[in-house]
Structure 1
Amino acid sequence: MRLNNNKNNIYPKNPKKNFDIQGYDKVTEQLVKIMTSTEFHATASQRKLFNFIISQTVSGKSHELKGYTIARKVFNRRDDFDPNSNPIVSIQAGKLRQALERYYLMAGQKDPLRIEIPKGSYLPVFINQIVPVTGLEKIDKDSDKIFMEKSPAVEILSFNNLTGDLENEIIGMGFASDLAIELSRYQEIKVLHATKEARQSVQKEIPRFTLYGNVYKNITDVKISCQLTDAKTGRHIWGDNYRMSIGAKTMLEFQEDTAQNIAVNLFDRHGIIPTRLFNESKNKPLDSLTAYEAILMFYEYDKTLTPEAFLNAMESLNHAIINHPDCGQVWFLLGQLYANIYGLGFSGFDTPLEKALKYAEKGIQISPADQRAWVILAFIYLLSDHVSLAKEAVSRALKLSSGSPLNADFFGYVMTLSGDWEKGTALIKKSMKRNPYYSPLVHYPLWVNCLRQKDYEGAYAETMKLQMPYLFWYPLVKASTLGLLGQSEKAEAYVNRLLELKPDFPSKGRILIGRYIKFKEIVDRVVKGLSKAGLNID
């Protein structure tokens, strides 16, 4: 399908042919931009509908955009679905139109391409917008360009259709688009989605990583194989296969789930790529660290929680906000570092909670679409005893995530400690299944939830999954739980370790416990367990 660019409107000339590459690039780039914007207030179902409408159009299947087809493929309705008696498609399409209108009013006024879905039709219209460029915009783009140029770039190539059926080209195209959307949530990396711009950039610089693969299909199964290569070494560094039995779920669901799994495996803060790049940069002089490398120092601390990693992260992030003040990520991660200082009672730091809030808000001001910024702000509100504000902030983060496993462990952590026991613990457990690099710190709120239910055996099981020898919370939960189970002798060693890490715990223990646990009856239960273990606190 070629695009008619003679006028502002871009219409398909022939709906049974494919887009040319220029038109495909414009549309898919705009789709990613809208889907990842905080101002696109669409539900998961409406986002699924939007992605289906666009993917069908760019693949030359816009003639199939009928109410019945959409109901079957997007909303999983049965074969006997009657669009005349059930208006679900028209209702959701109407809400999608509203979400698009709001996006272009709030955030998309200067986007080069406008996407509309006229009433009475599900066929999208693409409109070239005339975008004025001011001096201020040039400054913003230049500062962002400086940061992004020093960030790792990953190029996503279209997945090869090896099904033997040209009709399945849409699978590889749609999957590459889903991957681009998922990877764009990791805002410190540069995503090149096999566009004209990406191919031109390759002539100037080779993307550090290339993600590519194949699509296979037979009578019973669909398989997507995915591989990652590192241009620096020329080596294949990762690969995996993802398989679905036909009929187990829709193709769109399979694509989305697979894209999310790949993204979290590769680019989670403790995933394959950050770990690989940290090992390359960990011995670099402080003055030579890029903003992204400073972020990697924080990730290492977040993973190990060692005193050495804490000092490296603190030094690196403080250096980064001086040299890279336009990088929102370094601001809100420094905010989290100061939140940890306050929550864990580190000495030698003035007003850490105030600094945490200030830095997190600064990070949000620069990077309002980064879900991590909002969940860090929620964590700071929690420590500040503003539980209702914490819930609001984590709700904002969840809207930005659109069901992605990225940071879902941290979302569940804050939600559970805020008292959203059912949803918070469910999110943690789901994250543990989907993300092999989930933070073991999530076992703390799971432990708290077990105490709430007086399930002391379950609480002890959660402590067995913790290995955080540098945190006073580790011997604390061990000692308290063993005390509640009547095993005071086994608890003695953990009481001694707790006092080694926090000699003033008898006088400050209740305050420190209350910074994370906001429910008096649970705090009293923790204190009771410590008392039975032989440690009395004021």
Structure 2
Amino acid sequence: MAAKDSNQLPPRSGASPPPEEAIRQQLGKILISPQFVGSLNLQNFLRFIVEKTLAGGGAEIKGYTVATQVLGRKADFDPNLDPIVRIMAGRLRRALEQYYQVQGQSDAVIIDVPRGAYVPVFCSSSRQEDAGEVTLKILKEQIWALPPGPSVAVMPLRNLTGDRKQEFFADGLAEEITNELARYQDLRVIAFQSTLYWKGKEHDVREVGRDLNVRFLVEGSIRKAARTVKIAINVIDTLNGLRLWGEQYHRELRADSLIALQEEIALQVAARIGSLYGIIPQTLSRESRKKPPDSLKTYEAFLHFYHHVTILSPQTFAETLKVLERAVTRDPDSGLAWSLLAFVYSQSYSLQLAPLESPLEQSLVAAQKGAALEPENQLARVALANVYFFRNDRELFLSEAETALALNPNAPTPIGFLGWLLALLGDWERGLTILEKGMALNPHFPGWFRMAPFFYYYLQDSCEEAYQEALAFRMPQLFWDPLLRAAVLGRLGREGEGAQALAELLHLKPDFPTGARFLISCYAKFPYLVEGLLDGLRLVGLKT
């Protein structure tokens, strides 16, 4: 059947669209690919918009149409309340991108769904061009259409062992690093198959960055000596070619543990690079803090939040609140922005960094919006669990915490935070085990992680151990820092040092004596722990 309106098949770069028969054949190939065969919703979504466009009905493809005719929503569907179409469209675009980077590298017809609409476009790929150049062209078109955010690609690792049989190990490790980085949902990670174009070729990292539209490259090499392997990994900034981070890993090379070795190294590398306090967020955070707040893009607002939670001062709170409220106004469909705003509102409640009206209620509303917009975003689920923690809703907290942990059990800061909350709720063994895993994966964790082990030791009357945790807190702008030191010093009988710590506490929080019990109970969930901390503070002079 001929298309009713040729404008419904918009070509790229002035080229003629492929014949309808070729488009339908390509659609059939895509629908049986691994990226689609496991999802009936994705198959139906793509089939519907392609057939509708070929039939001349491209103008009728709207979010409401897709929701009611493809995704089973009722006639009263409201896209402002239910983000299902936006979520599925994002998954569809990612599935198409992955298909053309793997199975469809040499396909003659390209089906794409540009961001901002649901109408597909079709174009032909010239068979006369060099296959590698065609692949690179396709990759550029797709990658430049990806959403903004920190971007990274893992280059093929150089095999310097002199043994060609080790190529599979080098490529497998690079792909495993790519997969682990992709689990960090605020990173834009280019598929490893995209960088294979440069394998064995001399390249300028700045040119590769421009070609792939990525800011950061992960490069490295493997060397072999007897039964050991040396793996070198570096992170390069493609703006200037500078090496930002590097690490070397020496491991025994055994045939029966190659996959486990790849997984171990990949997990550690991804955590040091992409986690909340990894090298990429740290680099971008330093840059964003030099820009005026009004000029910040949504992701840069996220970076302000990441910086704030390492300090937790009234000043950084006020700046971050302002930046995130602007972010959700500018980008109301950003689930992550709403989720981070929920964290900030909850800090107004639990830390009283600045007075807000009904901060816990505002936090719940923002966290629920964030989780509805991005239900598979780990930080969105963590934000909701955090609100339920402060609302003392143990059942809902545990449900959200388990969901969040399952989304990425190797993301250092989210799992560390959840372990921290679990421990504060009294699940000491499991909570501290998860917390310790998060701390081990990335040593740049926030000092307030130390509160949970401090509470554990304080309850055991292991005051020397508790004091060491208090010293490691190291957040002098936050009143909990001197509070922990003062309480345990009182228990240790070191009243002079404890009185000095109490003076620091009262300097940071002059009204602490009147609100002490509430502030402590926000995190210390057991009355006997609250009383124990207050007793320690009274021993060094606190009057409540």
Instruction: Please indicate, yes or no, whether the TM-score normalized by the shorter chain is above 0.5.
Output: yes
| 2:542 corresponding residue in structure 1 | 535
**Within 5 A, what are the aligned runs for 1:440-519?**
440-519=447-526
Structure 2 CA distance, aligned partners of 1:147 and 1:481? Answer: 55
Question: CA offsets per residue over residues 162-184 of structure 1, 9 Å max, x none?
Answer: 33333332212221221122211
Structure 1 CA distance, aligned partners of 2:471 and 2:456? Answer: 15
Task: State the Cα distance separating 1:219 from its structure 2 match.
Answer: 3.0
1:287 is aligned to 2:321: no
- The DSSP-based 3-state class of the residue aligned with 2:412 is coil
Structure 1 CA distance, aligned partners of 2:293 and 2:530? Answer: 42
Question: CA offsets per residue over residues 375-407 of structure 1, 9 Å max, x none?
Answer: 222222111111232222211111111334353
**Within 5 A, what are the aligned runs for 1:320-335?**
320-335=327-342
**Within 5 A, what are the aligned runs for 1:255-270?**
255-270=262-277
| 2:172 corresponding residue in structure 1 | 174
Structure (1 or 2) with the larger CA radius of gyration: 2
Match of 1:189 among 184, 187, 190: 187
- The DSSP-based 3-state class of the residue aligned with 1:138 is coil
Task: State the Cα distance separating 1:303 from its structure 2 match.
Answer: 1.6
Match of 2:434 among 427, 439, 448: 427
Does the aligned pair in 1 maintain the 2:93–2:113 contact within 8 Å? no
Structure 2 CA distance, aligned partners of 1:176 and 1:145? Answer: 19
| Gap change, CA 1:164 and 1:147, over 3 Å in 2 | closer
| Gap change, CA 1:135 and 1:420, over 3 Å in 2 | same
1:318 is aligned to 2:325: yes
Task: State the Cα distance separating 1:412 from its structure 2 match.
Answer: 1.7
| 2:9 corresponding residue in structure 1 | none
| 1:138 corresponding residue in structure 2 | 117
Does the aligned pair in 2 maintain the 1:226–1:240 contact within 8 Å? yes
- The DSSP-based 3-state class of the residue aligned with 2:309 is helix
Letter in 2 for 1:390: F
**Within 5 A, what are the aligned runs for 1:214-293?**
214-247=221-254, 250-293=257-300
**Within 5 A, what are the aligned runs for 1:340-379?**
340-379=347-386
Name structure 2 gaps, 5 residues minimum.
1-24, 40-87, 100-106, 122-141, 199-207
Letter in 1 for 2:486: A
Name structure 1 gaps, 5 residues minimum.
11-22, 35-103, 116-127
Structure 1 CA distance, aligned partners of 2:384 and 2:445? Answer: 20
> TM-score scaled by structure 1?
0.72
Does the aligned pair in 2 maintain the 1:268–1:437 contact within 8 Å? no
| Gap change, CA 1:208 and 1:485, over 3 Å in 2 | same
| Gap change, CA 1:199 and 1:414, over 3 Å in 2 | farther
| 2:128 corresponding residue in structure 1 | none
Task: State the Cα distance separating 1:203 from its structure 2 match.
Answer: 6.5
Letter in 2 for 1:352: P
**What is the count of residue pairs matched by the alignment?**
432
| Gap change, CA 1:512 and 1:146, over 3 Å in 2 | farther
| 1:157 corresponding residue in structure 2 | 155
- The DSSP-based 3-state class of the residue aligned with 2:310 is helix
| Gap change, CA 1:298 and 1:248, over 3 Å in 2 | farther
Structure 1 CA distance, aligned partners of 2:196 and 2:316? Answer: 36
Structure 2 CA distance, aligned partners of 1:286 and 1:146? Answer: 26
Identical counterparts, % of pairs: 31
Q: Say which is worse superposed, 417-426 or 483-492, in terms of deviation.
A: 483-492
Does the aligned pair in 2 maintain the 1:480–1:526 contact within 8 Å? yes
Task: State the Cα distance separating 1:233 from its structure 2 match.
Answer: 0.9
Question: CA offsets per residue over residues 159-207 of structure 1, 9 Å max, x none?
Answer: 2333333333221222122112221122222111243499799666642
Question: CA offsets per residue over residues 72-128 of structure 1, 9 Å max, x none?
Answer: xxxxxxxxxxxxxxxxxxxxxxxxxxxxxxxx9xx899956999xxxxxxxxxxxx9
| Gap change, CA 1:190 and 1:203, over 3 Å in 2 | same
Does the aligned pair in 2 maintain the 1:303–1:439 contact within 8 Å? yes
Task: State the Cα distance separating 1:321 from its structure 2 match.
Answer: 0.9
| Gap change, CA 1:506 and 1:243, over 3 Å in 2 | same
| 2:409 corresponding residue in structure 1 | 402
Question: CA offsets per residue over residues 436-485 of structure 1, 9 Å max, x none?
Answer: 21121110111111122221221111111122222121121111111112
| 1:414 corresponding residue in structure 2 | 421
| Gap change, CA 1:381 and 1:140, over 3 Å in 2 | farther
Structure 1 CA distance, aligned partners of 2:491 and 2:449? Answer: 21
Does the aligned pair in 2 maintain the 1:390–1:418 contact within 8 Å? no
Task: State the Cα distance separating 1:417 from its structure 2 match.
Answer: 0.8
Structure 2 CA distance, aligned partners of 1:163 and 1:134? Answer: 43
- The DSSP-based 3-state class of the residue aligned with 1:326 is coil
Letter in 2 for 1:295: F
